[in-house]
Amino acid sequence: MSDNIYVWQNTSGWNAVEWSACGLTKLRFWLPDKSEAARGARSVSLESAPSFIRNAIRLLERYFDGARVDFDAIPVDMSGGTSFQSKIWTASRGIPFGHTVSYGEAARMAGSTGAARAAGTALGANPVPIIVPCHRVIRSDGSIGGFSIGVDIKTKLLALERR
């Protein structure tokens, strides 16, 4: 658990971001209650959060409102992942808003041709969905595939980006 957590509520539910000195480490969103978002941590004030966190929250709120948002400027601390996971997560950040790629394409983007299943596993461990847009990765047959926080949320995110 991080000492650096900010929790806020919007019309869709409770949200939380955690961070290190290197960048965003976790994002939880659209949760039903504050305690689930905070997971027992004491939230810091937004004013005391680093500027990249204030910017991330501003961009997330715009995204949740349906705006086309680019999260490239938000630093992500990928030190909690393996080398392979970091490569997949970094490559996935290059998938444009409103577009999708297959798991195999995501693996190729990361330089690991033939590693579609491994890419899916890495994306399932992504701690910062939306910022690292793993919801934009689907099966090669065009079906939705899995999502660590639920296929219904993945469907909602893809629909939000298609508006």
Residue count of the chain: 163
User: What distance in Å separates the CA atoms of residue 16 and residue 80, rounded to the nearest whole number?
Assistant: 18
Contact in structure between 69 and 63 (CB atoms under 8 Å):
yes
Q: Which of 46, 3, 9, 44 has the alpha carbon at shortest distance from 29?
A: 9
C-alpha separations of 92 from 3, 22, 45, 138, 163 in Å: 28, 19, 31, 12, 21
Write out the catalytic residue numbers.
134
User: What distance in Å separates the CA atoms of residue 141 and residue 84, rounded to the nearest whole number?
Assistant: 24
Pairing of strands 5-10, 13-20: antiparallel
Handedness of CA 61, 1, 35, 21 (dihedral sign): negative
